[in-house]
Amino acid sequence: MRAAVFGTGEVGTAIAGKLKSLGNDVVLGSRYPGASQGGIEVLSHANAAAHGEWIFNAMHGEAAVEVLGNLHLGAKVLVDMGNFQSAIDGPLNATLGETLQAMLPETRVIKAMNFPSAHLMVDPGHLSEHHSVFIAGNDALAKGEVGSLLQDFGWRDVVDLGDLTACRAMESLAPMWIRLNQYFDHVWFNLAVVRASSVGD
């Protein structure tokens, strides 16, 4: 896979490194192209988009809307891991996943991994207990492909929440992550979906 990861912060570099370790051809997209990070080339957003068959958004929502809305991504897969910063301390008036899909109608937007820390995104096995990752998207085929990639990352419980209207539930978890991070004072935590062994139990 040729992948372009947008964002050179903690999330972006972690995702790019994991993708590279799995044998993919990866570049980073940045406002400030130039020197490589961790052996991964840093290109302009436009050049990164041209390189990638899959695009990974590791930017905050406000930046993602500004940057991605000016690119022509066609029918590429866009894995959106972002959250609006404004929704941390205020109401979630619009979801990032649905906003990106409306801006890029041909692009196959898949929402995933917007709750775990960057560390757990690429190393879910660090937690020995059962824990879950959520995924949503309007394109069933692309969602299945992203789900398979999450399994390659090490995720064992990928919970498909349906179409992108699920972004409201998923992105509402961002303030919860902030509060839990403050409480635990570390990033090694996640949510788990615990099911009954059978209906009626």
Burial classification of residue 31, based on how many CB atoms lie within 10 Å of its CB (0-12 exposed, 13-18 middle, 19 or more buried): exposed
Residue 148 falls within a domain, yes or no?
yes
User: Which pLDDT score is estimated for 79?
Assistant: 98
Residue 197 falls within a domain, yes or no?
no
Question: 144-157, pLDDT tens digit by residue?
Answer: 999 999 999 999 99
Is residue 129 within 8 A of residue 192, CB to CB? The reply is yes
CATH code: domain of residue 14: 3.40.50.720
Tokens of residue 112, six digits: 């995933």
pTM as predicted: 0.95
3-state secondary structure string, 48-81? HHHHCCEEEECCCHHHHHHHHCCCCCCCCEEEEC
Q: Name the residue with higher pLDDT: 186 or 70.
A: 186
The answer, yes or no, to whether residue 199 has pLDDT greater than 90, is: no
| Dist CA 79 CA 54 (whole Å) | 8
Give the position of tokens 């899959």: 54
Residue 192 falls within a domain, yes or no?
no
Residue 112 falls within a domain, yes or no?
yes
| Dist CA 49 CA 187 (whole Å) | 30
Mean of the per-residue pLDDT values for the chain?
95
The predicted model gives 8-34 an average pLDDT of: 96
| Dist CA 131 CA 191 (whole Å) | 6
Domain that holds residue 142: 2-184
Number of domains observed in the structure of the chain: 1
User: Which pLDDT score is estimated for 36?
Assistant: 87
The answer, yes or no, to whether residue 76 has pLDDT greater than 60, is: yes
